Amino acid sequence: MDASSDTTGTTRIAQDLLGWYDTHGRDLPWRARPGSPAPDPYRVWLSEVMLQQTTVGAVKAYFAAFTARWPTVMALAAAPDEDVMAAWAGLGYYARARNLLACAREVAARGGQFPDTEDGLRALPGLGAYTAAAVAAIAFGRRAVVVDANVERVVSRLFAIDTPLPGSRPLIREYADVITPDLRSGDFAQAMMDLGSGVCTSRSPRCLLCPLSAGCAGRASGEPERLPVKAAKKAKPVRKGRAFWIERELGGEAQVWLVRRADKGMLGGMRALPDDGWAARADGCGEGPASGPWDSAGKVDHVFTHFSLELSLAVYLGGRFEGAEGEWWPLDRLDEAGLPTLFAKAARLALAAERQDA
Protein backbone atom coordinates (compact mmCIF):
# COMPACT_ATOMS: atom_id res chain seq x y z
CA MET A 1 0.00 0.00 0.00
CA ASP A 2 1.27 3.47 -0.84
CA ALA A 3 0.01 5.66 1.98
CA SER A 4 0.88 8.91 0.22
CA SER A 5 -1.38 8.04 -2.71
CA ASP A 6 -4.48 7.43 -0.58
CA THR A 7 -5.41 10.72 1.06
CA THR A 8 -8.86 9.52 2.05
CA GLY A 9 -7.46 6.34 3.60
CA THR A 10 -4.77 8.10 5.60
CA THR A 11 -7.24 10.71 6.86
CA ARG A 12 -9.53 7.91 7.96
CA ILE A 13 -6.68 6.25 9.89
CA ALA A 14 -6.22 9.42 11.97
CA GLN A 15 -9.95 9.87 12.51
CA ASP A 16 -10.55 6.28 13.55
CA LEU A 17 -7.54 6.18 15.84
CA LEU A 18 -8.33 9.49 17.55
CA GLY A 19 -11.93 8.41 18.05
CA TRP A 20 -10.68 5.23 19.71
CA TYR A 21 -8.20 7.19 21.84
CA ASP A 22 -10.86 9.57 23.12
CA THR A 23 -12.58 6.58 24.69
CA HIS A 24 -9.80 4.09 25.38
CA GLY A 25 -6.64 6.17 25.95
CA ARG A 26 -4.71 5.41 29.11
CA ASP A 27 -4.90 7.75 32.11
CA LEU A 28 -1.27 8.48 32.94
CA PRO A 29 0.05 11.04 35.45
CA TRP A 30 1.97 13.00 32.82
CA ARG A 31 -0.91 13.22 30.34
CA ALA A 32 -3.83 15.54 29.76
CA ARG A 33 -7.09 13.97 28.72
CA PRO A 34 -8.39 14.78 25.20
CA GLY A 35 -9.99 18.22 25.17
CA SER A 36 -8.07 19.38 28.26
CA PRO A 37 -5.32 22.03 28.23
CA ALA A 38 -1.91 20.73 27.18
CA PRO A 39 0.20 19.22 29.96
CA ASP A 40 3.18 20.98 31.52
CA PRO A 41 6.17 20.59 29.15
CA TYR A 42 8.36 19.73 32.16
CA ARG A 43 6.18 16.73 33.01
CA VAL A 44 6.03 15.57 29.39
CA TRP A 45 9.79 15.85 29.00
CA LEU A 46 10.51 14.13 32.32
CA SER A 47 8.18 11.25 31.52
CA GLU A 48 9.61 10.76 28.04
CA VAL A 49 13.17 10.60 29.38
CA MET A 50 12.13 8.11 32.06
CA LEU A 51 10.20 5.97 29.57
CA GLN A 52 13.19 5.40 27.31
CA GLN A 53 13.95 1.65 27.52
CA THR A 54 11.64 1.42 30.56
CA THR A 55 8.03 0.30 31.03
CA VAL A 56 5.16 2.55 32.06
CA GLY A 57 4.61 0.41 35.15
CA ALA A 58 8.19 0.89 36.31
CA VAL A 59 8.17 4.64 35.62
CA LYS A 60 5.00 5.68 37.47
CA ALA A 61 6.47 5.53 40.98
CA TYR A 62 9.68 7.30 39.94
CA PHE A 63 7.73 10.01 38.13
CA ALA A 64 5.56 10.60 41.21
CA ALA A 65 8.62 10.79 43.48
CA PHE A 66 10.53 13.15 41.16
CA THR A 67 7.64 15.54 40.62
CA ALA A 68 6.84 15.60 44.35
CA ARG A 69 10.46 16.40 45.22
CA TRP A 70 11.21 18.61 42.21
CA PRO A 71 7.86 19.94 40.92
CA THR A 72 9.36 22.30 38.33
CA VAL A 73 12.29 22.28 35.97
CA MET A 74 13.85 25.10 38.01
CA ALA A 75 13.69 22.96 41.15
CA LEU A 76 15.30 20.03 39.35
CA ALA A 77 18.01 22.27 37.91
CA ALA A 78 18.95 23.40 41.42
CA ALA A 79 19.13 19.88 42.84
CA PRO A 80 22.54 18.42 43.82
CA ASP A 81 23.81 15.83 41.34
CA GLU A 82 24.10 13.11 43.98
CA ASP A 83 20.47 13.56 45.07
CA VAL A 84 19.15 13.18 41.53
CA MET A 85 21.38 10.20 40.79
CA ALA A 86 20.26 8.51 44.01
CA ALA A 87 16.59 9.17 43.19
CA TRP A 88 17.15 7.66 39.73
CA ALA A 89 18.70 4.45 41.14
CA GLY A 90 16.90 1.38 39.85
CA LEU A 91 15.62 2.95 36.62
CA GLY A 92 18.80 2.00 34.78
CA TYR A 93 20.51 3.64 31.80
CA TYR A 94 22.05 6.19 34.12
CA ALA A 95 23.32 8.46 31.36
CA ARG A 96 19.68 9.56 31.15
CA ALA A 97 19.88 11.03 34.65
CA ARG A 98 23.05 12.94 33.82
CA ASN A 99 21.43 14.27 30.63
CA LEU A 100 18.31 15.11 32.62
CA LEU A 101 20.29 17.42 34.89
CA ALA A 102 22.21 18.99 32.01
CA CYS A 103 18.98 19.71 30.16
CA ALA A 104 17.18 21.07 33.24
CA ARG A 105 20.06 23.46 33.91
CA GLU A 106 20.10 24.63 30.30
CA VAL A 107 16.35 25.31 30.43
CA ALA A 108 16.82 27.12 33.76
CA ALA A 109 19.49 29.27 32.16
CA ARG A 110 16.93 30.23 29.51
CA GLY A 111 14.51 31.43 32.14
CA GLY A 112 12.78 28.12 32.86
CA GLN A 113 10.89 27.86 29.57
CA PHE A 114 11.28 24.92 27.19
CA PRO A 115 11.56 25.78 23.47
CA ASP A 116 8.22 25.14 21.77
CA THR A 117 9.55 23.77 18.47
CA GLU A 118 11.14 20.48 17.50
CA ASP A 119 14.35 22.18 16.33
CA GLY A 120 14.58 24.23 19.51
CA LEU A 121 14.09 21.15 21.67
CA ARG A 122 16.71 19.20 19.70
CA ALA A 123 19.24 21.86 20.69
CA LEU A 124 18.87 20.97 24.38
CA PRO A 125 21.33 18.49 25.96
CA GLY A 126 20.22 14.88 25.75
CA LEU A 127 17.13 15.39 23.57
CA GLY A 128 17.19 13.16 20.53
CA ALA A 129 14.78 13.12 17.62
CA TYR A 130 12.14 11.05 19.37
CA THR A 131 12.00 13.03 22.63
CA ALA A 132 12.03 16.39 20.85
CA ALA A 133 9.17 15.30 18.58
CA ALA A 134 7.15 13.91 21.51
CA VAL A 135 7.48 17.07 23.61
CA ALA A 136 6.77 19.34 20.63
CA ALA A 137 3.62 17.40 19.74
CA ILE A 138 2.24 16.57 23.18
CA ALA A 139 3.16 19.69 25.15
CA PHE A 140 3.02 22.36 22.43
CA GLY A 141 0.58 20.98 19.86
CA ARG A 142 3.12 21.08 17.04
CA ARG A 143 2.78 18.67 14.17
CA ALA A 144 5.63 16.25 14.74
CA VAL A 145 6.23 12.64 13.73
CA VAL A 146 6.71 10.61 16.89
CA VAL A 147 8.09 7.08 16.38
CA ASP A 148 8.89 4.74 19.25
CA ALA A 149 8.94 0.93 19.35
CA ASN A 150 5.15 0.73 19.67
CA VAL A 151 4.67 3.04 16.67
CA GLU A 152 7.20 1.01 14.67
CA ARG A 153 5.14 -2.11 15.29
CA VAL A 154 1.79 -0.51 14.43
CA VAL A 155 3.05 1.09 11.22
CA SER A 156 4.93 -2.04 10.12
CA ARG A 157 1.76 -4.08 10.42
CA LEU A 158 -0.60 -1.43 9.05
CA PHE A 159 1.39 -1.20 5.80
CA ALA A 160 2.96 -4.71 5.83
CA ILE A 161 6.54 -3.39 5.85
CA ASP A 162 8.65 -6.55 5.79
CA THR A 163 12.13 -5.05 5.49
CA PRO A 164 13.98 -6.14 8.67
CA LEU A 165 14.71 -3.61 11.38
CA PRO A 166 16.67 -1.41 11.67
CA GLY A 167 16.80 -1.02 7.87
CA SER A 168 13.03 -0.44 7.72
CA ARG A 169 13.08 2.61 10.01
CA PRO A 170 13.29 5.28 7.28
CA LEU A 171 10.28 3.72 5.52
CA ILE A 172 8.38 3.38 8.81
CA ARG A 173 9.00 7.05 9.54
CA GLU A 174 7.84 7.98 6.02
CA TYR A 175 4.54 6.17 6.52
CA ALA A 176 4.15 7.57 10.05
CA ASP A 177 4.64 11.05 8.62
CA VAL A 178 1.92 10.49 6.02
CA ILE A 179 -0.71 9.36 8.55
CA THR A 180 0.10 11.97 11.23
CA PRO A 181 -2.63 14.65 11.16
CA ASP A 182 -1.96 18.38 11.26
CA LEU A 183 -4.30 18.78 14.22
CA ARG A 184 -4.06 16.78 17.45
CA SER A 185 -0.73 15.24 16.47
CA GLY A 186 0.14 14.90 20.16
CA ASP A 187 -3.01 12.91 20.85
CA PHE A 188 -2.36 10.91 17.68
CA ALA A 189 1.16 10.03 18.86
CA GLN A 190 -0.12 8.93 22.27
CA ALA A 191 -2.93 6.97 20.60
CA MET A 192 -0.38 5.09 18.49
CA MET A 193 1.63 4.31 21.63
CA ASP A 194 -1.46 3.06 23.46
CA LEU A 195 -2.55 0.98 20.49
CA GLY A 196 0.86 -0.68 20.29
CA SER A 197 1.03 -1.20 24.04
CA GLY A 198 -2.40 -2.70 24.62
CA VAL A 199 -3.84 -3.93 21.31
CA CYS A 200 -1.21 -4.28 18.58
CA THR A 201 1.09 -6.17 20.92
CA SER A 202 4.25 -8.06 19.99
CA ARG A 203 2.60 -11.41 20.59
CA SER A 204 -1.02 -12.33 20.01
CA PRO A 205 -2.22 -8.93 18.76
CA ARG A 206 -5.86 -8.26 19.58
CA CYS A 207 -6.94 -7.44 16.05
CA LEU A 208 -10.66 -7.74 16.78
CA LEU A 209 -10.36 -4.75 19.14
CA CYS A 210 -8.23 -2.63 16.82
CA PRO A 211 -9.85 0.48 15.31
CA LEU A 212 -7.52 0.16 12.28
CA SER A 213 -7.98 -3.54 11.58
CA ALA A 214 -10.21 -3.10 8.50
CA GLY A 215 -7.39 -1.46 6.55
CA CYS A 216 -4.44 -3.29 8.10
CA ALA A 217 -2.32 -5.08 5.50
CA GLY A 218 -0.59 -7.10 8.19
CA ARG A 219 -3.86 -8.50 9.44
CA ALA A 220 -4.96 -9.22 5.87
CA SER A 221 -1.80 -11.29 5.41
CA GLY A 222 -2.93 -13.60 8.21
CA GLU A 223 0.37 -13.21 10.11
CA PRO A 224 0.43 -9.77 11.74
CA GLU A 225 2.65 -10.96 14.60
CA ARG A 226 5.41 -11.65 12.04
CA LEU A 227 5.88 -7.89 11.70
CA PRO A 228 8.02 -5.97 12.24
CA VAL A 229 10.76 -8.29 11.05
CA LYS A 230 13.73 -8.16 13.39
CA ALA A 231 17.31 -9.04 12.59
CA ALA A 232 18.71 -11.98 14.55
CA LYS A 233 20.21 -10.91 17.86
CA LYS A 234 23.90 -11.39 18.41
CA ALA A 235 24.99 -13.15 21.57
CA LYS A 236 26.17 -10.68 24.20
CA PRO A 237 29.76 -11.00 25.36
CA VAL A 238 30.30 -11.86 29.03
CA ARG A 239 32.59 -9.81 31.25
CA LYS A 240 33.86 -10.78 34.67
CA GLY A 241 34.68 -8.51 37.55
CA ARG A 242 34.88 -8.22 41.32
CA ALA A 243 33.22 -5.95 43.83
CA PHE A 244 34.20 -5.53 47.46
CA TRP A 245 32.02 -5.32 50.55
CA ILE A 246 34.09 -3.61 53.24
CA GLU A 247 32.30 -3.29 56.56
CA ARG A 248 33.22 -1.94 59.97
CA GLU A 249 31.52 -1.13 63.26
CA LEU A 250 32.05 2.26 64.86
CA GLY A 251 30.33 3.34 68.05
CA GLY A 252 27.91 0.45 67.79
CA GLU A 253 26.93 1.40 64.21
CA ALA A 254 27.63 -0.94 61.29
CA GLN A 255 28.99 0.90 58.24
CA VAL A 256 29.92 -0.09 54.69
CA TRP A 257 32.47 1.62 52.46
CA LEU A 258 30.95 3.23 49.35
CA VAL A 259 32.65 5.09 46.53
CA ARG A 260 31.29 7.54 43.99
CA ARG A 261 31.88 6.43 40.42
CA ALA A 262 33.44 8.79 37.90
CA ASP A 263 30.95 11.14 36.25
CA LYS A 264 31.68 9.69 32.81
CA GLY A 265 31.40 6.03 31.97
CA MET A 266 29.16 3.22 33.14
CA LEU A 267 26.92 4.06 36.10
CA GLY A 268 28.62 7.47 36.12
CA GLY A 269 28.14 9.62 39.20
CA MET A 270 26.44 6.86 41.21
CA ARG A 271 27.37 5.66 44.68
CA ALA A 272 28.58 2.08 44.48
CA LEU A 273 30.67 -0.61 46.11
CA PRO A 274 34.35 -0.40 45.21
CA ASP A 275 35.31 -2.75 42.38
CA ASP A 276 38.23 -3.88 40.26
CA GLY A 277 37.55 -1.68 37.23
CA TRP A 278 35.51 -4.21 35.23
CA ALA A 279 33.73 -1.42 33.34
CA ALA A 280 36.94 -0.48 31.55
CA ARG A 281 37.95 -4.01 30.58
CA ALA A 282 36.57 -6.69 28.33
CA ASP A 283 38.00 -9.70 30.15
CA GLY A 284 39.50 -10.96 33.36
CA CYS A 285 39.52 -9.51 36.87
CA GLY A 286 41.68 -6.61 37.92
CA GLU A 287 43.16 -5.77 41.31
CA GLY A 288 41.15 -5.16 44.44
CA PRO A 289 41.03 -1.89 46.38
CA ALA A 290 42.92 -3.24 49.38
CA SER A 291 44.59 -6.33 50.70
CA GLY A 292 42.96 -8.18 53.52
CA PRO A 293 41.32 -11.38 54.71
CA TRP A 294 38.73 -11.57 51.95
CA ASP A 295 35.88 -14.06 52.03
CA SER A 296 33.79 -14.89 48.99
CA ALA A 297 30.06 -14.15 49.15
CA GLY A 298 29.35 -15.61 45.71
CA LYS A 299 28.50 -13.69 42.56
CA VAL A 300 25.72 -11.76 40.92
CA ASP A 301 24.79 -11.73 37.24
CA HIS A 302 23.63 -8.56 35.52
CA VAL A 303 22.75 -7.75 31.92
CA PHE A 304 23.72 -4.42 30.39
CA THR A 305 22.79 -3.22 26.91
CA HIS A 306 25.90 -4.53 25.18
CA PHE A 307 27.25 -7.23 27.51
CA SER A 308 26.50 -9.46 30.48
CA LEU A 309 28.49 -9.26 33.70
CA GLU A 310 29.47 -11.91 36.23
CA LEU A 311 30.42 -9.95 39.34
CA SER A 312 32.14 -11.86 42.13
CA LEU A 313 31.75 -10.36 45.60
CA ALA A 314 34.55 -10.36 48.16
CA VAL A 315 33.70 -9.50 51.77
CA TYR A 316 36.06 -7.95 54.34
CA LEU A 317 34.62 -7.44 57.81
CA GLY A 318 36.02 -5.52 60.74
CA GLY A 319 39.05 -3.97 59.10
CA ARG A 320 40.25 -0.47 58.36
CA PHE A 321 40.15 0.53 54.73
CA GLU A 322 42.67 2.90 53.26
CA GLY A 323 42.33 3.27 49.53
CA ALA A 324 40.21 5.05 46.98
CA GLU A 325 38.16 8.02 48.12
CA GLY A 326 34.76 7.18 49.46
CA GLU A 327 32.59 7.34 52.55
CA TRP A 328 31.47 5.09 55.37
CA TRP A 329 27.72 4.67 54.95
CA PRO A 330 25.43 3.54 57.81
CA LEU A 331 24.25 0.04 57.04
CA ASP A 332 20.76 0.68 58.37
CA ARG A 333 20.37 3.52 55.83
CA LEU A 334 21.80 1.70 52.85
CA ASP A 335 18.52 2.00 50.94
CA GLU A 336 19.04 5.78 50.96
CA ALA A 337 22.39 5.55 49.17
CA GLY A 338 20.76 5.13 45.75
CA LEU A 339 22.88 2.17 44.67
CA PRO A 340 22.35 1.18 41.03
CA THR A 341 20.68 -2.20 40.54
CA LEU A 342 23.94 -4.11 40.01
CA PHE A 343 25.39 -2.99 43.35
CA ALA A 344 22.07 -3.29 45.15
CA LYS A 345 22.10 -6.96 44.11
CA ALA A 346 25.66 -7.30 45.43
CA ALA A 347 24.68 -5.64 48.73
CA ARG A 348 21.79 -8.07 49.19
CA LEU A 349 24.19 -10.94 48.53
CA ALA A 350 26.67 -9.69 51.14
CA LEU A 351 23.96 -9.19 53.76
CA ALA A 352 22.53 -12.63 53.06
CA ALA A 353 26.01 -14.14 53.51
CA GLU A 354 26.38 -12.35 56.85
CA ARG A 355 23.04 -13.68 58.08
CA GLN A 356 24.04 -17.18 57.05
CA ASP A 357 27.31 -16.95 58.96
CA ALA A 358 25.70 -15.44 62.07
With H, G, I as helix, E, B as strand and everything else as coil, classify residue 306. Answer: coil
Torsional sign, CA 173, 202, 188, 16 = positive
Which of the four pLDDT bands, split at 50, 70 and 90, describes residue 250? Answer: confident
Strands 327-330 and 308-317: unpaired
Task: Choose among 309, 227, 319: nearest CA to 276.
Answer: 309
Q: Could you list the active site residues? A: 48
Percent of the chain with pLDDT over 90: 70
Helix H segments across 52-184?
56-69, 73-77, 81-88, 95-109, 118-122, 129-140, 149-158, 169-179
Regarding the domain with residue range 238-357, which homologous superfamily does it belong to in the CATH classification? Nucleoside Triphosphate Pyrophosphohydrolase (3.90.79.10)
The H-or-E segment that residue 27 falls in is none
Burial letters 283-305, b for 16+ CB under 10 A, else e: eebeebbbebebeebebbebeee
158 compared with 323, residue with greater pLDDT? 158
With H, G, I as helix, E, B as strand and everything else as coil, classify residue 194. Answer: helix
Question: What pLDDT is stored for residue 249 in this prediction?
Answer: 86
Question: What pLDDT is stored for residue 347 in this prediction?
Answer: 94
55-65 mean pLDDT: 96
Which of the four pLDDT bands, split at 50, 70 and 90, describes residue 290? Answer: low
Torsional sign, CA 119, 120, 123, 127 = negative
Report pLDDT digits (tens) over 108-145.
Answer: 999 999 999 999 999 999 999 999 999 999 999 999 99
Q: Are 270 and 261 in contact (CB under 8 A)?
A: yes
Which of the four pLDDT bands, split at 50, 70 and 90, describes residue 289? Answer: low
Question: What pLDDT is stored for residue 317 in this prediction?
Answer: 73
Strands 327-330 and 271-272: unpaired
Question: What pLDDT is stored for residue 357 in this prediction?
Answer: 64
Enumerate residues 6+ apart whose C-beta is below 8 A from 170: none
CATH domain 3-226 topology: Endonuclease III; domain 1 (1.10.340)
Which of the four pLDDT bands, split at 50, 70 and 90, describes residue 162? Answer: very high
Measured between alpha carbons, how far is 301 from 240 in angstroms, rounded to an integer? 9
Q: Are 233 and 303 in contact (CB under 8 A)?
A: no
Measured between alpha carbons, how far is 293 from 318 in angstroms, rounded to an integer? 10
Question: What pLDDT is stored for residue 234 in this prediction?
Answer: 85
Boundaries of every domain in the chain = 3-226, 238-357
Select, from the ranges 135-139, 324-328, 352-356, the one with the highest average predicted confidence (pLDDT). 135-139
Strands 295-303 and 238-250: unpaired
Which of the four pLDDT bands, split at 50, 70 and 90, describes residue 3? Answer: low
Which of the four pLDDT bands, split at 50, 70 and 90, describes residue 314? Answer: confident
Measured between alpha carbons, how far is 266 from 249 in angstroms, rounded to an integer? 31
Measured between alpha carbons, how far is 268 from 245 in angstroms, rounded to an integer? 20
> What is the pTM (predicted TM-score) of this model?
0.81
**Residue 9: DSSP 8-state:** H
> Rounded to whole angstroms, what are the CA distances from 155 to 90, 117, 137, 147, 296?
32, 25, 18, 9, 51
